């Protein structure tokens, strides 16, 4: 017997805008699969949905045992789960999930990799989902770059994103007026962590960093002083993890929040 349904919202992006062009992007394998596997093992039913209705693209930079603390067996289990488990292969289209109604979902989770910066942070269906879960105070968890998706709850999310790309943070702040998550404590992939990705993976600079965007929106953003150390913040219904190594602790906090709500 399922303890409830959890919506996992993935990105459909494979390229991201950078200064001077575009770079390859996607979701990080561990950030998607570790929390999804934990939810299934805890007795929850997982529904994966993306804007396109297709499986998210896995960023090649994440496709290694390095992101599973060097544990080759855990890496292989994750690869198999993503390739074969129905919770990962029976992907729904985000618009169809919204159209059918969100009342049946106990919580929502958005994994990272840079891909959510491209589509989810300005996706109208993502915005509808966030507003529903915020109004119902249902657990809302986002990991690494995933927290940038909370921007989608704004009525002018696309314009906010465009302002950040253009370097106009004052305009972005104006567009964020009335944002549902203003004043929430939250974390996200830090500027110094992003520099590692820019230097060694993208070989280009991003147009904006994630903490600046969420602060412009009105978030109370806290990141660790030590890069890539696990860091999770829970404030009301919102649960955010900073980086890939926050995958297990974020999953634990999400499951605990779901269990508390179910028991209430």
Domains in the chain, please, with CATH? 5-263 (3.40.50.880)
Nearest 5°: phi and psi at 150? Answer: -65, -15
Say if CB 118 and CB 13 are below 8 A apart: yes
Tens-digit pLDDT string for the chain (264 aa): 899 999 999 999 999 999 999 999 999 999 999 999 999 999 999 999 999 999 999 999 999 999 999 999 999 999 999 999 999 999 999 999 999 999 999 999 999 999 999 999 999 999 999 999 999 999 999 999 999 999 999 999 999 999 999 999 999 999 999 999 999 999 999 999 999 999 999 999 999 999 999 999 999 999 999 999 999 999 999 999 999 999 999 999 999 999 999 998
Q: Output the pTM of the full model.
A: 0.98
Give the Cα separation of 11 and 7 in Å (integer). Answer: 13
SS3 state of residue 262 = helix
Q: How many CB atoms lie within 10 A of CB 159?
A: 16
- Report CA 118 to chain centroid distance, whole Å: 12
């Amino acid at each position: 017997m399922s303890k409830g349904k959890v919506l996992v919202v993935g990105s459909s992006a494979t390229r991201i805008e950078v200064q001077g062009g575009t770079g390859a992007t996607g979701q990080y394998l561990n950030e998607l699969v570790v929390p999804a596997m934990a939810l299934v093992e805890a007795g929850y039913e997982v529904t994966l949905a993306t804007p396109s209705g297709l499986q998210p693209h896995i960023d090649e930079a994440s496709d290694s045992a390095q992101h599973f603390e060097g544990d080759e067996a855990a890496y292989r289990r994750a690869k198999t789960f993503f390739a074969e488990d129905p919770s990962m292969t029976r992907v729904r289209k985000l618009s169809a999930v919204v159209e059918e109604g969100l009342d049946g979902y106990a919580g929502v989770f958005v994994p990272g990799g840079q891909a959510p910066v491209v589509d989810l942070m300005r996706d109208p269906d993502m915005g509808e989902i966030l507003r529903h879960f915020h109004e119902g105070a249902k657990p809302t968890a986002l990991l690494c770059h995933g927290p940038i998706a909370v921007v989608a709850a704004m009525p002018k999310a696309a314009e906010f994103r465009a302002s950040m790309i253009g370097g106009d943070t004052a305009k972005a702040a104006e567009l964020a007026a009335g944002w549902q998550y203003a004043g929430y404590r939250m974390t996200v992939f830090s500027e110094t962590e992003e520099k590692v990705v820019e230097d060694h993976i993208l070989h280009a600079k991003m147009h904006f960093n994630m903490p600046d965007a969420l602060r412009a929106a009105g978030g109370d953003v806290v990141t660790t002083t030590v890069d890539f150390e696990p860091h999770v913040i829970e404030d009301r219904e919102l649960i955010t993890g900073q980086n890939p190594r926050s995958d297990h602790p974020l999953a634990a906090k999400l499951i605990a929040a779901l269990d508390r709500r179910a028991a209430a």
